[in-house]
Amino acid sequence: MLSLTAALAPTMARADINLVPPGRTIDPAVPFRLSLMVTGEAESRSYALPEVLRVNLTPDLGAVARVELRRETPVPDQINLRQGEFRRIDYVGEVPPNLRGRVRVDAVDMDAPAMLVQLSTPREAAAAEPMLPPAGSRERLAQADAAATPDRAPATVLTVRSDNDPNRQDEGRLSFHEPMFFVAGAGVDANAQIQLSFKLRLYEPADKNSRRFLDNLYFAYTQAAFWDLTADSKPFLDTNYMPSFFYYVPNTDWRVGGNAVGIAAGYEHESNGKDGSESRSIDTLFVRPYFTFGDTSDFYWTFSPKIYAYIEKSENPDIQKYRGYGDFRFTYGKNDDWQTAWILRKGTKSSAFSSDLQFTYPLNKLLPGLSGYLMAQYFTGYGETLLNYNQREPWSVRIGYAISR
């Protein structure tokens, strides 16, 4: 049983809230069921139950699917529990038909540990009963609602966490960082690009919601390679290596439009590994807030400007004329549907700018069980490669495959 303790207001009684796992293997052809086990830990108290339990279902290398589970147990919106009494509440919903294989289950509205389940075909489904309360304690369930009266204390609401709370979207200590993809097409020089990127949380605190500095330090590494597939021997034109070290929390106490604001700040190095006249490198300090606008269960906007200051650029002293002092990323889309991202840069030179437009679509919507995304990219402007930061690329159009976006 996966247990969590609700973060209730200090003046209210507390309850132990257990999220009962559905079993390791579930049949996607039958309703998906999760249960809450609520146990009173203090004096008699009235608890308000959510009508809907929202969960994110994330397949390996696939798009997140948001599922709403409706309360199935015929109980009132408020139940009464005395110390030591408990009540099991079942929630039921449907698994999207395009999901396959191993799936991570995250309860959106609660600070509950994630669960991994295996989606099977109906013939392969293994019967797995959720854990039940001890037999000797079940007799108390029938008496739980009558054990206390609602007017003895204010109702305590069990929905205690918001849609984007600290670290909810992290897959673990090692996770995706920038988008990872391979695209190829037509362009003046670099007509193909591959990018790999990951981040590692250096220390895993006991409290995953901690915002302390040492608890939220990350190392990240991104590598982008550009090459010409039409030339003889298909040479790599440039490869950019970008290690970084930074503090990051996806949720601060600041909210905009009802959604939490995230923040990242730290140091980044970028170089192309060449020597002589083709050697390029920069070192920057950056700060990057993350803003979200709209309902994240539907189509919504994000804006994440990355503002930086150069602390070393001797090999390319005028790079700010072409790259400026910030990357401005806008996205619009839905977690389990298409998404478009637009990354803009503006140099201090009046004519210097760049525009990188990316479109992604989950492949499991085209072929259930397939991971990743179909991706299309259009780039124009300066600074796509570090080597030719001061040369304008008229245009590049590419299409390919993305692991993350």
Of 218, 223, 219, the closest CA to residue 179 belongs to 223
* Tokens encoding 329: 């990323």
- Mean of pLDDT values over 259-264: 94
- Mean of pLDDT values over 89-107: 86
In a domain, 167, yes or no: no
Q: How many CB atoms lie within 10 A of CB 42?
A: 14
Mark which of 157, 189, 205 sits at the end of a domain.
157
Q: How far apart are CA 132 and CA 144, in angstroms?
A: 17
The answer to whether residues 36 and 72 touch, using CB atoms and an 8 Å cutoff, is: no
Concatenate the DSSP letters of all residues of 125-158 into one string. PPP-PPP---GGGGGGHHHHTTSS-GGGSPPEES
More confident call, 48 vs 124: 48
Q: How far apart are CA 148 and CA 393, in angstroms?
A: 72
Residue written as tokens 């004519």?
Answer: 351
221 and 80 housed in the same domain: no
150 and 178 housed in the same domain: no
More confident call, 171 vs 402: 402
In a domain, 377, yes or no: yes
108 and 197 housed in the same domain: no
Q: How far apart are CA 224 and CA 385, in angstroms?
A: 9
151 and 178 housed in the same domain: no
The predicted pLDDT at position 346 comes to: 97
Q: How far apart are CA 107 and CA 160, in angstroms?
A: 11
Mark which of 157, 183, 199 sits at the end of a domain.
157
109 and 79 housed in the same domain: yes
86 and 146 housed in the same domain: yes
Mark which of 157, 185, 220 sits at the end of a domain.
157
131 and 179 housed in the same domain: no
The predicted pLDDT at position 42 comes to: 66
95 and 218 housed in the same domain: no
The range of the structural domain enclosing residue 274 comes to 174-404
Of 311, 340, 345, the closest CA to residue 327 belongs to 345
Q: What is the CATH number of the domain that holds 209?
A: 2.40.230.10
Tally the domains of the chain: 2
More confident call, 291 vs 132: 291
The predicted pLDDT at position 132 comes to: 47
Q: How far apart are CA 243 and CA 196, in angstroms?
A: 12
Collapsing DSSP states into helix, strand and coil, what is residue 277? helix
pLDDT digits (tens, 9 = 90+) for 167-203: 234 456 889 999 999 999 987 766 899 999 999 999 8
Q: What is the CATH number of the domain that holds 117?
A: 2.60.40
pLDDT digits (tens, 9 = 90+) for 262-313: 999 999 999 999 999 999 999 999 999 999 999 888 999 999 999 999 999 9
Residue 390 pLDDT class (50, 70, 90 cuts): very high
In a domain, 363, yes or no: yes
The answer to whether residues 375 and 404 touch, using CB atoms and an 8 Å cutoff, is: no
- Strand-strand pairing, 15-20 and 45-48: unpaired
105 and 252 housed in the same domain: no
In a domain, 164, yes or no: no
Residue 22: burial class (beta carbons within 10 Å; 0-12, 13-18, 19+): middle
pLDDT digits (tens, 9 = 90+) for 56-76: 898 877 788 889 999 999 988
In a domain, 166, yes or no: no
Of 370, 377, 387, 390, the closest CA to residue 321 belongs to 390
350 and 396 housed in the same domain: yes
Of 334, 333, 339, 330, the closest CA to residue 374 belongs to 339
199 and 247 housed in the same domain: yes
In a domain, 163, yes or no: no
In a domain, 282, yes or no: yes
226 and 368 housed in the same domain: yes
In a domain, 168, yes or no: no
